[in-house]
Structure 1
Amino acid sequence: MPAPPPPELPTDLIVDEAAHGARLDAYLAAQLPGLSRSLLRKAIDSGAVTVDGQRRKPSFRVEHGQSVHVDAFELPHEGPAPQAIDLDILHEDDDLIAVNKPAGMVVHPAKGHWEGTLASALAFHFGQLSDIGGAARPGIVHRLDRDTSGVIVVAKHNRAHEHLAAQFHDRTTEKRYLAITQGVPDRDEDVVDRPIGDHPHSREKKAIRADHPSSREALTRFNVLERLGGFALVECLPKTGRTHQIRLHLAHLHCPVLCDKLYGGRSQVTAGELESGAAGGGVVLARQALHAADLSIFQPTSDHRLTFRAAIPQDMQAALDCLKRG
């Protein structure tokens, strides 16, 4: 079902008896179905909404007979345009979708990436999804970096979105990643417990920084599954979910993710380099060798534990095959 068009603004509303006691943002979302609740919260905070001529907070409880004025305000870019992009669906039910995202696909539209996104593919295949994240992020509860492949879950409606988001916030989800590292960790098992914050010089990067206003705790467990000469296949179990967490923590161990240009200094590798240490043989891998292999969550309605698994992708498997021949 297509989303309703945005209402004409400015507009004036009178609170009826049935809406008495409702939060202001919830009341407006019900009265103006073409606008998301998150967008209306921003409008309220900006002063575009008044109640009996006074500015109020989104949590303000409206009363029967009050006059609510909504002034014209800037609407965000429209949501992602539906695009007929094939998706590898791992699971679908009435509440959620689990997708095996390919490397190279951006999760949602952003500057420089307006087309070919996961959000555009979801809009084509599923239509209306949760809108808590805003028009540009329908259904998106969490994200993966563009060049990280693997499992991502999407909420079909707002109740499921809130339930899933709470699991990520409360850290009741279980995430398992596979990485090929350039360099071999010293220990078979290790834990990196180092806070992550903004990089002091680069807006693209994050950095391990203690006692900085932007820093937040970050913990990752690592298990070496296989040693392959100067490389390794490593299982990564992040307890927290900071931006670039696994990539940064592995770089901290002096074993960056293979082909991680941002933290490892290179963006591709050839078969010859992996097999014999000499250039040649064609490029085998041209993105960071990081894959979200498993994700366990509680199903929002039944509360049963669900685990979604995505097989290791062809490019990472090809790199591993080269290393085993070396």
Structure 2
Amino acid sequence: MEIEPEREPNLARTIVVAPEEDQQRLDSFLVSHFSKHSRVRLQRAIAKGDVLVDGKKAKSSTKLKPGQSVVCEPIEAPTEGPIPEDIPLDLIFEDEHMIAINKPPLMVVHPAKGHWSGTLTAALAFHFKSLSSIGGPTRPGIVHRLDRDTSGVILVAKTDQAHAALGKQFQDRTVEKEYHAIVTPAPDRDRDVIDKPIGNHPYQREKKAIRENHSSSRAAVSMYEVLERLNGFALVAVKPKTGRTHQIRVHMAHVGCPVACDRLYSGRARLTGNDLNRDGDETVLLDRQALHARKIGFDHPVSGERMLLESKFPADMTRLWEAIKTRKMD
């Protein structure tokens, strides 16, 4: 069946299921016909009853059959900026120029495909009337970012002046960052400098890799220090001198001590009680990479005063570390 061009996203559509779309889930079917909308947004429309299959309400998981008629009522189009959401924020510092926030794990910083809601920018839009505009309408106030699974301190600018001043410090590498990570196995050395260029992974698009003399390679330097070794794990402090994507995760994996629960670089996405002690306890201890932006040092964007801000250690990494303390080693 020839698919008609996508109409404006605020107009209803009736689509007949084609033979090649047999047994396709309803939400997947809609994603293929409404590319401007995220799967989450379309699933919400289905749950609200705005999508009918042969005149009846259906579920996102409904398997379609050729010839069925799918009617989709008008769907609210994504706005340019984040939609304010009443999401609690853990403030570390605030004045009239900037904010520092302890970002929780599993929170995306700004809207992106598949993550239109629940973002840090949505929470900021709700709690603060004025944020800098330098980052554009979808990233108000955002000076730098942390991965979704990385927790810790992140700086937000209220004014364009503050944003420009903070951004220059990141560019000039005068911002001092310290991350704490739980890695396994523990490093042999107490401290070391990892000076290895990072570039695109040769065949996995979502990953980065150590790449020498490649067009995508950029210099990357990380210094780490072991804070404590314990039962096959270590708590390490890592100070990246550069800011490459996935830098700490790639560098620690390169020296054979990947960050625990790092889906991309450790091969294990979570740890349970059973993983530690083989006692049948399937309680999940951690289900995201054990990486936390602990400290950040910078000059205040207006006063110039040197500042050092610290975020509290997250509960899930604390839970894992406490479990490691009681681990029974063979």
Which TM-score band applies after superposition, normalised by the shorter structure? 0.7 to 0.9
Aligned to 2:302: 301
User: Sequence identity of aligned pairs in percent?
Assistant: 58
1:63-142 alignment, distance < 5 Å = 77-142=79-144
1:5-60 deviation line (CA, Å, top 9, x unaligned): xxxxxxxxxxxxxxxxxxxxxxxxxxxxxxxxxxxxxxxxxxxxxxxxxxxxxxxx
Quote the residue 1:245 is aligned against: 247
List per-residue Cα deviations over 1:99-145 (Å, max 9, x = no partner). Answer: 00000000000111100000000000013311111111101010000
Which residue is equivalent to 1:256? 258
Gaps of 5+ in 1: 1-75
Q: Whole-Å Cα distance in 2 between the matches of residues 144 and 176 of structure 1?
A: 13
| 1:269 match | 271
Counterpart of 2:307 in structure 1: which amino acid?
L
Aligned equivalents of 2:124, 2:287: Cα separation in 1:
26
| Conserved 8 A contact 1:270-1:279 | no
SS at match of 1:317: helix
Aligned residues: 250
Give the deviation of 1:77 after TM superposition: 4.9
Post-superposition offset of 1:280: 2.1
Equivalent residues of 1:271, 1:319 under 8 A apart: no
- Give me the TM-score of the superposition, normalised by structure 2: 0.74
The aligned residue for residue 290 of structure 1 is 291
Residue of structure 2 equivalent to 1:63? none
Residue 162 of structure 2 aligns to a residue in which SS?
A: helix
CA distance in 2, matches of 1:216, 1:141: 21
SS of match in other structure, 1:233: strand
Extract structure 1 runs of 4+ deviating beyond 6 A.
none
C-alpha distance after superposition, 1:223-278 (max 9, x if no partner):
0111112111111111111110000000001111000011111111012323x255
Pick aligned residue for 1:205 from 201, 204, 207: 207
Q: Which runs of 5+ in 2 are unaligned?
A: 1-77
Given the alignment of the two structures, is residue 324 of structure 1 paired with residue 313 of structure 2, yes or no? no
CA distance in 2, matches of 1:78, 1:139: 15
Q: In 2, distance between residues paired with 1:205 and 1:292? A: 20
Q: Partners of 2:127 and 2:79 in 1: how far apart? A: 21
Map 1:205-244; keep pairs closer than 5 Å.
Answer: 205-244=207-246
Distance 1:243 1:278 in 2: 37
- TM-score (structure 1 length as normaliser): 0.75
CA change 1:162–1:190 in 2 (3 A) is: same
Partner AA of 1:139 in structure 2 = G
Q: What residue is the counterpart of 1:156 in the other structure? A: 158
Paired AA for residue 175 in structure 1: K
Q: Which residue of 1 aligns with 2:35?
A: none
Q: 1:170-181 counterparts in 2 under 5 A?
A: 170-181=172-183
Cα distance in 2 between the residues matched to 1:168 and 1:210: 25
Equivalent residue of 1:262, what SS?
coil
Name the SS of the counterpart of 1:261 in structure 2. Answer: coil
CA RMSD of the aligned region, Å? Answer: 1.2
Instruction: Give the letter aligned to residue 153 of structure 2.
Output: V
Structure 1 residues 194, 301: closer, same or farther in 2, change over 3 A? same
2:43 maps to what in 1?
none
